[in-house]
Amino acid sequence: MRADSGGTRKPSCFASWIFRCRAAWSWRLACPSGMVLTRLTAAPERRLARRVCGVVLDHFDAQYSSELGDAWAAVRDILTSPCCWQYAVLLNRFNYPFNLEEALRLRGYRTVFQGSLPHCPKSMKCYLSTTAGRMPSERHQVGNLKKYYLLNAASLLPVLALELRDGEKVLDLCAAPGGKSIALLQCADPGYLHCNEYDHLRLKWLMQTLESFIPQPLVNGIKVSQSDGRDVGDAQPETFDKVLVDAPCSNDRSWLFSPDAQKAACRISQRRSLPLLQRGLLRSAIKALRPGGLLVYSTCTLSRAENQDVINDVLNTHSNVIPVDITEMARTCSQDFSFAPTGQECGLLVIPDKGRAWGPMYVAKLKKSWTV
């Protein structure tokens, strides 16, 4: 769970991906080194059934049928069917798995983003399959770097939108569990990386993630802090070239499978306060950003109130912030992702679709001007 000082919590996007396909099938990849990967030995009797929370689904039906129109029916089908969810494999350049890469290719996996986005570095390689399912996660072992990271491929869009370059100063304002920080380091070698997370337990998770994927000398150069993100801008004004705000949000995937209907109903009322927190985080990020710097805001919810409305409010109240057109990103990624209209040139919304079960993921890109 992600928390802020006001007590609002966001279940991690990554936590919702623990659901696996219930179909009873498996396959093995035999690598030249003798390493064998077993995927999805999914005996239904060995898994606890994941049940959709009716209270949340009714709430989503009311809200998203209005906001997404006819597209909601297809999105609904994917969100309520974990066996349809897809998982991408981000390779770790600091312990590159050449044998695994070849095995993935033999199984029909292909790279995503390479060649389609001009600012996608060759050092970042992510493989995906059009079929549902996932590889097993690697266990954390002290002193051993993991070879790959499993993720929702849409979560790489905010990272790529940031256009990180070597030597830049970067702030990941809400960093836990660390997936986007890891992805940033696959793209470039920042001169300074500051990862912030307020919640104590999630902070430990973040630090373990960094230690699992990044060589110790580089980890030692990363600043990790436990601050309320809304205070960072005042503490470090105009410090960073790039800022990522992967904000606490409703997290539609995990919320939909809430085990406690009463708590889920309580969260429906609490959901209304999230935009206030998100705007506070964005205001802090703008203060921390140097003039001319880029800021990317992202969430893993479909909610217009937490996405477009938050960005529009910031643009209307900050004369030194200008939107950056990222519609070209949607055009070049349309083969792999489905997008819903946002009414914004600076904002994209990835929606889950059949065969492209990525998202939800909202991405908005802003720039701080040199003059107020």
Question: Residue 63: which of 311, 339, 303 has the closest Cα?
Answer: 303
pLDDT band with cut points at 50, 70 and 90 for residue 372: low
Q: What is the DSSP string of 255-313?
A: HTT-S-HHHHHHHHHHGGGHHHHHHHHHHHHHHHEEEEEEEEEEES---TTTTHHHHHH
pLDDT at position 99: 95
Q: Is residue 175 a known part of a binding site?
A: yes
pLDDT at position 311: 98
| Strand ranges of the sheet holding 88-91, from the earlier edge strand across to the other edge | 110-111, 126-128, 88-91, 148-151
Please say whether the beta carbons of 61 and 302 come within 8 A: no
* pLDDT tens for each residue of 202-250: 999 999 999 999 999 998 889 999 999 999 999 999 999 999 999 999 9
Mean pLDDT of the 122-139 span: 89
Rounded Cα distance between 252 and 235, Å, is 32
Q: Is residue 166 a known part of a binding site?
A: no
* pLDDT tens for each residue of 145-171: 999 999 999 999 999 999 999 999 999
pLDDT at position 17: 31
DSSP 8-state class, residue 83:
G
Mean pLDDT of the 280-305 span: 98
Mean pLDDT of the 44-51 span: 52
Tell me how crowded residue 219 is: count the other CB atoms within 10 A of its CB: 15
Tell me what the pLDDT averaged over the chain comes to.
Answer: 87
Per-residue tokens: 163: 């256009």
Rounded Cα distance between 120 and 364, Å, is 17
Q: Is residue 97 a known part of a binding site?
A: no
**pLDDT reading at 42 higher than 60:** no
> Is residue 300 flagged as an active site residue?
yes
Residue 113 three-state SS: coil
pLDDT at position 278: 98
Write down the catalytic residue from 53, 300, 333, 346. Answer: 300
Question: Residue 358: which of 130, 161, 145, 184 has the closest Cα?
Answer: 130
Please say whether the beta carbons of 59 and 303 come within 8 A: no
pLDDT at position 342: 97
Q: Which of 43-47, 62-66, 264-268, 357-361 has the lowest mean pLDDT?
A: 43-47
pLDDT band with cut points at 50, 70 and 90 for residue 112: very high
CA pseudo-torsion sign 99, 113, 172, 198: negative
Mean pLDDT of the 310-332 span: 96
Q: Is residue 325 a known part of a binding site?
A: no
State how far Cα 65 lies from the chain centre.
Answer: 24
* pLDDT tens for each residue of 8-37: 444 443 333 332 322 222 233 333 333 334
CA pseudo-torsion sign 85, 305, 73, 113: negative
pLDDT band with cut points at 50, 70 and 90 for residue 346: very high
50 vs 6, residue with greater confidence: 50
Question: Residue 125: which of 145, 139, 140, 105 has the closest Cα?
Answer: 105
Q: Is residue 178 a known part of a binding site?
A: yes
Mean pLDDT of the 129-157 span: 91
Q: Is residue 180 a known part of a binding site?
A: yes
Rounded Cα distance between 222 and 217, Å, is 9
pLDDT at position 133: 78
pLDDT at position 49: 57
pLDDT at position 179: 96
pLDDT at position 119: 80
